[in-house]
């Protein structure tokens, strides 16, 4: 398992476009991935509705957990998508 904690810097948080890109990457990875606000309940990261339901705003810390083969590389890629979202 690989875990990444990151702070969301985008002024509008995780909105539809980065959430969609994130979900596409999760689906393409074939791994089991969850995402949560720090201290909150994890949701399946393959669901855009679940991600949008977290209400992640600028300055929030999110936790991404990836299980499966190549989990470290997948976690790095997913974290990169959220950190560089616009």
Query: Catalytic positions, please?
Result: 15
Nearest in space to 6 (alpha carbons), one of 82, 85, 57: 82
In contact, 6 and 79? CB cutoff 8 Å: yes
Q: Which two tokens stand for residue 11?
A: 């002024």
Nearest one of 28, 14, 12 to 77, comparing CA atoms: 28
Instruction: Classify residue 33 as left (phi > 0), alpha (psi -120 to 50) or beta.
Output: beta
């Amino acid at each position: 398992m690989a875990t990444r904690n990151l702070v969301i810097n985008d002024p509008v948080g995780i909105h539809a476009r980065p959430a969609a890109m994130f979900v596409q990457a999760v689906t393409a990875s074939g791994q089991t991935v969850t995402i949560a606000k720090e201290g909150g309940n994890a949701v399946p990261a393959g669901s855009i509705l679940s991600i949008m339901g977290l209400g992640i705003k600028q300055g929030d810390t999110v936790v991404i957990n990836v299980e499966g083969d190549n989990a470290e590389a997948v976690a790095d890629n997913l974290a990169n998508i959220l950190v560089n979202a616009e």
